[in-house]
Amino acid sequence: MVRVTMKDPKIWKTFVSSVTALIEEAAFTFSPDGVRMKAMDPSKISMVDFELSPDAFDEFKVKERVVAGVKLTEFERALSRMKSKDQLTLEVDTEKNRLNLIFKGASTRKLGIPLLSAEEEEFPEPKLNFAAKVTLQASVLKDGLKDAEMVAENVRLNADKNSFSILAESDRGTSELVLSKGDEGLVGLDVSEPATAIYSVRYLIDMVGGTSPSDQVTLKFSTDLPLEIDFGVANGRFRFLLAPRVET
């Protein structure tokens, strides 16, 4: 039986907040190398890749590879019962066919959710070279995306040597976020050639939905090519790929 205890249980709340809107079921692969989940959304517009190394855990009892599939809404509901100071242990009980979440605080509580028959999926992942790499505060990125959401369904990202911008426009109005080198909200800007592309606002907002305001998010993109979103967590990584929209 797989049994792991998290150093920082909050990672899982970030995970489900970022992923629940994109995919319905997730297959977590527990192996001596860590925990990994990789999936595409049904429309194949986006891919999510989540991994935690054994260092992310206080206790990591995984002797062999086990794939645990769960419905994400059920996982999220169970996680929502965790109190902020609880210790979180995950247990894959293949005999009873359950993923157990054990919360240890003023009392010890255990919630079990059914395991789905699931297999780890393999994806042919595109080899991408990105023209622009932008690192910014999660709160600033969210603000720019939520501004855009009021106005349009798609958002244009632009990056050049000196600035990064998020633009949206429709007959409902316009929105514009500009970050120039030196601005507080812009942590890093590394552009080999100017890049501009359009992406779905909804997907972007979902993907960064679980970040805390002070987290840093890295966007990598090239003109009219897929976007990669990264945000590191202690001893782990969230990565999303998102296909561009092409103007008609």
Minimum CB distance to a second copy, residue 26 (Å):
16
The contact mask relative to a second copy for 111-150 (x = CB under 8 A, - = no) is xxxx----------------------x-xx--xx-xx--x
73 backbone dihedrals φ, ψ, rounded to 5°: -65, -35
Nearer to a second copy, 132 or 136 (CB): 136
Told to check if 185 binds a second copy by CB under 8 A, we report yes
3-state class of 51 per DSSP? strand
Total residues at interface with a second copy (CB under 8 A): 38
| Dist CA 236 CA 227 (whole Å) | 20
Say whether residue 109 binds a second copy (CB under 8 A): yes
How many CB atoms sit inside 10 A of residue 120's CB? 15
Contact pick of 64, 95, 122, 184 for a second copy (by CB under 8 A): 184
The residue among 30, 36, 91 whose CA lies nearest residue 237 is 36
Measured N-to-C along each axis, helices 10-19 and 72-79 cross at an angle, to the nearest 10 degrees, of 140
Using DSSP's 3-state secondary structure scheme, residue 155 falls into strand
- Judged by CB under 8 A, the residue of 22, 48, 159, 177 near a second copy is 177
Tokens standing for 2?
């797989």
**Three-class DSSP category at 112:** strand
Q: Which is nearer to a second copy, 43 or 174 (CB)?
A: 174
| Residue 71 or 202 with smaller CB distance to a second copy | 71
Judge contact between 190 and 136, C-beta under 8 A: no
Q: How far is the CB of 186 from a second copy (least distance, A)?
A: 8
What residue ranges bind a second copy (CB under 8 A)?
74, 77-78, 81, 83, 98, 100, 106-114, 137, 139-140, 143-144, 146-147, 150-151, 171-179, 183-186
